[in-house]
């Protein structure tokens, strides 16, 4: 499969006075054509900021991409002008945001909100855009489409709004769809329907998906390749089956252990001890060391790099450093 997007050494920081948060710290990844890459990790680990960096939507002046390249079909997105980036966003890359309610305009009818990008980016006439909007509403599984087009966002349920967000996102037939926690706020039945729908669109159009979630059940359902982030860095990545069958990093192992399994019910659900480090107090150590049951001296003083530990699997952990093992 060909690379669609390749990110090299991306760092995005937020600066407030003398405080500096390395929200995304030297992250490299790629998404191939037709592939679903899932990004997982606890709250605050930099998942959304990675997505916002790709979309060119990091909020200035506090937030800034300080380093890196984001190649999308040969172009470095970080070198594009605001206009070029806007065109790309309207056509080739779409995003479903973490909070759908806040991305829809409460005073505009649903239909108008779907029509607007069709008129602006695809230059459809008002009439054609309206017809296409109704078609899209039907496509995301909502009946009475014409009536829904004439409704306001507050008249729709959360699940319906999320479908509308998907309708807007796929209206341009994007090559890459970035979905940031698209089903977190929904009940499991609706979640399954929405994930199915994303999968269907992906198969129909060979679209690639970057799916951000903290739900490992969603990862297992959707991912071809998984990226595990912790405190702004990738700590493990790999092909989905390998990562689930043989997680190497103690953090990934902890995440998988935290997932409830019905036939292994315990008195108390497992959770990784401790907390994500304060982003303002990061040192040269492995960021996970004080939560890790395998912590060694070196982990407290030096951060391990992401290295290949098996075919299609990389881990940043001293447990797997050859020199250390052979010492
Ligand atoms: N606008 C901002 N200003 C300052 N700091 C920010 C801003 N946006 C994000 N951050 C910081 O960047 C870090 C990464 O945040 P991000 O939103 O990417 O986390 P996340 O992995 O998406 O978490 P969640 O699962 O809660 O959505 C956090 O420490 C957060 O506080
Ligand atoms: Mg987020």
CB 56 within 8 A of CB 77: yes
> pTM higher than 0.85, yes or no?
yes
Regions of the chain where pLDDT drops below 70: 261-267, 322-327
pLDDT at 327: 57
The secondary structure element, H or E, covering residue 85 is: helix 82-91
274 ligand 1 Cβ < 6 A: no
pLDDT at 264: 65
Instruction: Report which of 39, 42, 62 is spatially closest to residue 50, judged by C-alpha positions.
Output: 39
pLDDT at 90: 81
Instruction: Report which of 239, 252, 255, 251 is spatially closest to residue 308, judged by C-alpha positions.
Output: 239
pLDDT at 326: 59
Ligand nearest to the CA of 44: 1
pLDDT at 223: 97
pLDDT at 271: 84
d(CA 86, CA 121): 10
277: DSSP letter: P
Strands (E), the chain: 3-16, 19-32, 36-40, 63-72, 75-76, 93-96, 176-180, 208-212, 225-230, 233-239, 307-310, 313-315
Domains of the chain by start residue, with CATH: 3-92+172-325 (3.40.50.300), 102-171 (no CATH)
Q: Distance from the CA of 197 to the center of ligand 1, in angstroms?
A: 28
Tens of pLDDT, residue by residue over 235-292, are: 999 999 999 999 999 999 999 988 776 666 666 777 888 888 888 888 899 999 999 9
d(CA 251, CA 254): 5
pLDDT at 237: 98
Q: Distance from the CA of 306 to the center of ligand 1, in angstroms?
A: 22
* 28 bridge partner residues: none
pLDDT at 1: 83
Instruction: Report which of 50, 22, 97 is spatially closest to residue 227, judged by C-alpha positions.
Output: 50
Give, in order, the Cα–Cα distances in Å from 142 to each of 17, 139, 163: 48, 7, 8
277 ligand 1 Cβ < 6 A: no
| Whole-number average pLDDT of the chain | 91
CB 259 within 8 A of CB 40: no
292 ligand 1 Cβ < 6 A: no
């Amino acid at each position: 499969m060909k690379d669609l997007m390749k990110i090299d050494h991306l760092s995005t920081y937020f600066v407030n006075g003398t405080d500096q948060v390395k929200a995304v710290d030297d992250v490299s990844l790629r998404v191939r054509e037709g592939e679903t890459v899932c990004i997982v990790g606890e709250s605050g680990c930099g998942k959304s900021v990675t997505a916002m960096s790709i979309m060119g939507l990091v909020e200035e002046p506090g937030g800034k991409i300080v380093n890196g390249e984001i190649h999308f079909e040969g172009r470095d997105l970080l070198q594009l002008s605001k206009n070029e980036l806007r065109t790309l966003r309207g056509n080739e890359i779409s995003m479903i945001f973490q909070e759908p309610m806040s991305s829809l305009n409460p005073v505009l009818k649903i239909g108008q909100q779907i029509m607007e990008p069709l008129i602006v980016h695809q230059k459809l006439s008002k009439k054609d855009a309206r017809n296409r909007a109704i078609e899209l509403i039907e496509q995301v599984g909502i009946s009475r489409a014409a009536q829904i087009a004439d409704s306001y966002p507050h008249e729709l349920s959360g699940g319906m709004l999320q479908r509308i967000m998907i309708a807007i996102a796929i209206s341009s037939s994007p090559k890459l769809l970035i979905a940031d926690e698209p089903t977190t706020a929904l009940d499991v039945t609706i979640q399954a329907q929405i994930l199915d729908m994303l999968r269907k669109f992906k198969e129909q159009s060979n679209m690639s998906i970057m799916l951000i979630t903290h739900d490992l059940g969603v990862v297992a359902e959707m991912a071809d390749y998984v990226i595990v982030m912790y405190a702004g860095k990738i700590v493990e990545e790999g092909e989905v089956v390998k990562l689930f069958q043989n997680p190497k990093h103690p953090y990934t192992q902890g995440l998988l252990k935290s997932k409830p399994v019905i036939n292994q019910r315990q008195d108390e659900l497992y959770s990784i001890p401790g907390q994500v480090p304060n982003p303002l107090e990061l040192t040269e150590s492995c960021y996970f060391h004080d939560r890790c049951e395998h912590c060694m001296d070196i982990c407290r003083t030096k951060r391990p790099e992401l290295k290949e530990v098996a075919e299609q699997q990389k881990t940043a952990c001293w447990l797997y450093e050859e020199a250390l093992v052979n010492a």
